[in-house]
Amino acid sequence: MRRPILTANWKMHKTVAEAEGFVDAFLPRIATVRDVEIVLAVPFTVLDRVGQRLKGSAVQLAAQNVHPEAGGAFTAEIAVGMLADLGCRYAIVGHSERRSLFGEADEFIARKAAALLGGGLLPIVCVGESLGEREAERTFEVVRRQLEASLARVPKERAAEIVIAYEPVWAIGTGRTATPESAQEVHAFIRERLVERFGGAGAQIRLQYGGSVKPENVYALMKQPEIDGALVGGASLDPESFARLVSFEAQGESQ
């Protein structure tokens, strides 16, 4: 049984005061949520203070990026050990914004994922096709290539611990969610590739969908057999909205 995992990706949002205000409003709202892993991926500048505020709760702390080297002359970069020091459990790697705006390639992402596993953290590895790729019917080819290359350094015995996020680029921040059925289709394809690559461990890897997930559509997405979670941008910035998202079962009952 794969435990649902919902991750807030705040991207480049929130000051320390805003982040602390979020946590203070969020934790009481999710006090009764059970059997869901909740993760906050926050800017580096608020990791420490958010981590302090989350102590004693079950909510996990995550970074939005990491550098693969353990240390050295890499101005402005952050190493795995630094994230571990602040209590991070996860880091997102290969987000489409990193790939497209900052030129990150699969090989670099693969090194990050391996460095995280080596340093006691777990990667949330993002894949997903652009609008042009979808329209050219290249979705499966692109996702296959990204998966193979980004996971090239993940050892089989650690595979079950990683998280994959499928985020079609055309659905990010656009309000244009993939239908539950079309997201499920790609997730099923990803599952097949993971089982091919990792055997039984591939069936244990949790797959998140990302791209305009909201309280109103989360239930239908989460009901799909191969959708184990969500990676949420815009709708994770407001504590009430993200609390409704992580209570997705209750959202289903109210629909």
60, 30 Cβ separation under 8 angstroms: no
Q: Is 178 a binder of ligand 13P (CB under 6 A)? A: no
Tokens standing for residue 232: 């949420």
- 231 near ligand 13P, rule: CB under 6 A: yes
Smallest separation, CB 69 to ligand 13P (Å): 24
| Catalytic (active site) residue 167 | yes
CA angle 191, 192, 198 (to 5 degrees): 85
Half-sphere exposure (CA, 13 Å, Cβ side) for 35? 5
DSSP state of 171: G
CB under 8 Å to 125, separation ≥6 — which residues? Answer: 93, 94, 109, 113, 150, 151, 162, 163, 164, 165
From the CB of 61, what's the least distance to ligand 13P, in Å?
16
Query: Could you say which of 37, 67, 95, 104 is catalytic?
Result: 95
CB of 136 to ligand 13P, least distance (A): 22
Only segment of 15-23, 69-77, 199-207, 230-238 that touches ligand 13P (CB under 6 A): 230-238
Structure-token match 């057999």, residue found: 225
CB of 142: closest distance to ligand 13P in angstroms? Answer: 17
Binding flag, residue 43, ligand 13P (CB under 6 A) = no
User: Would you count residue 237 as binding ligand 13P (CB under 6 A)?
Assistant: no
Q: Residues with Cβ < 8 Å from 233, sequence gap 6 or more?
A: 9, 11, 172, 173, 210
**95 catalytically annotated:** yes
Indicate the angle between helix axes 180-198 and 139-150, nearest 10 degrees.
40
Q: Pick the stretch among 12-20, 44-52, 67-75, 231-239 that binds ligand 13P (CB under 6 A).
A: 231-239
Q: Which residues bind ligand 13P (CB under 6 A)?
A: 9, 95, 167, 172-173, 210-213, 231-235
Q: Which positions are annotated as active-site residues?
A: 95, 167
